[in-house]
Structure 1
Amino acid sequence: MQPSEEQVYIDKVKKGDSAAYRYLVDKYQDMAYTIALRIMRQAEDAEDAAQEGFVKAYQQLHSFEGKSKFSTWLYTIIYRTCLSKLQKQRIPAYPMEEGIDDTDDTVPPLDILETMEKQTYIREAIGRLPSIDGVLITLYYLNENSIREMAEITGLSESNIKVKLFRARKTLEQQLRFLL
């Protein structure tokens, strides 16, 4: 069985080719930032936390054994970095600020507007959730992580994650009803 492209780059970095780490950063930076934003609640803080998490992951890459997916291992580092920064800074929660997604010119403008409006409401509703609930919703629905992977990332038990996801969905539904 041939190693995945991802594993090839991990092996290159482990052998001293630091430039190969760029592939991993490019592949995972968007979700790392999204997780950080859900926790930190401010764009600049999320960027700092995500960047710090990538640096920590690079420094600890030698300890990655491949027992879980690389993304799970990385998101665990990002998650814990954010929690650590929050604890040190004791920053209050602020509403999220996110840019508008790029769109395709072949889609009718009215459809684009409706999609952007829906995304705005969903982002706003997720932003109103407690940090951990927003992270769980993001990991499960947007990144399609399994409950087991989410347990590895957050350090919560699988049953606790299921309960929190159930409650977060209910709260998200209430927030969306309120916003709409």
Structure 2
Amino acid sequence: MEKDHQKTDVESISDEMLVSRTTETNDTYWYGMLYDRYSHRVYHKCLSFTRSVEEAQDLTHDIFVQLFVKLRTFRGESRFSTWLYAFVYNFCVNYVQRNLNKYRQTFVPTDDFKDEAAEIEDDAIFGLKEAALMKILDMISPDDKMILLMKYQDDFSIRDISSALNIGESAAKMRLKRAKHRLLELHNEIN
């Protein structure tokens, strides 16, 4: 098999093309390009869930090993980065849920909100101090943390969240709204 990647301009190749070349040829060279593009971001997402450098490194490795196998399931219905981040979030949420004793929640979320109809503006979330926000994010459920990070860290639209979680847009809006309520409710309890 002749390799056609001798003088490839890495920057000019789209993610989708790298996925296509990887799946067509099983050539790890192309997959290595995807790894180089995204490993740093994936590591930081893992670190935001585990707060442990070693665990984040292990998770990043495990994610990219599993991703190589799952790459053929990428259908191109969203950007590759959206699909990848959904994969990473789901992997991290599953990891944290499997290790709940280690990541014991100190806040038990409820569905009983004082004012469920009240919309929480994004400015209320952005106004939280970073240290307090990081502490609270470690205390809420992994699912709530995932959707909040998608929205506020990765700037996912409701459509992107909907696609990543394989739910309807109205369900994505409701989950985001509930997660924001839980975040601010816990913030108010702490302060």
TM over 0.5: yes
- Deviation by residue 1:22-68 (Cα, 9 ceiling, x = unmatched): 33223323443454455556554444333222211112323323222
For 1:175, the equivalent position in structure 2 comes to 186
Contact 2:49/2:138 (CA < 8 Å) preserved in 1? no
Shift of residue 129, structure 1, vs aligned partner: 1.6
Give identity over the alignment, percent. Answer: 25
Give the structure-1-normalised TM-score: 0.67
Distance 1:80 1:9, change over 3 A: same
1:119–1:88 distance in 2 versus 1, CA, 3 Å: closer
Aligned twin of 2:174: 163
Structure 1 residues 150 and 31: alpha-carbon distance in aligned structure 2, compared to 1, 3 A threshold: farther
Partner of 2:17: 8
- Equivalenced residue count is 157
Indicate the structure with greater helix content.
1
Contact 1:6-1:24 within 8 A present in 2 as well: yes
How far off its partner does 1:93 sit? Answer: 1.6
Q: What does 1:43-122 correspond to in 2, within 5 Å? A: 43-86=53-96, 91-94=101-104, 118-122=129-133
Structure 1 residue 130 corresponds to structure 2 residue 128: no
Please say which structure displays the higher CA radius of gyration: 2
Rounded to whole Å, the distance in 2 between the matches of 1:38 and 1:159 is 27
Alignment root-mean-square deviation, CA: 3.1
**TM-score, structure 2 normalization:** 0.64
In the TM superposition, residue 20 of structure 1 has moved relative to its aligned partner by: 2.6
**Cα displacement (A) at 1:139:** 0.3
Whether the 8 Å contact between 1:121 and 1:179 is mirrored in structure 2 is no
Q: Which residue of 2 aligns with 1:139?
A: 150
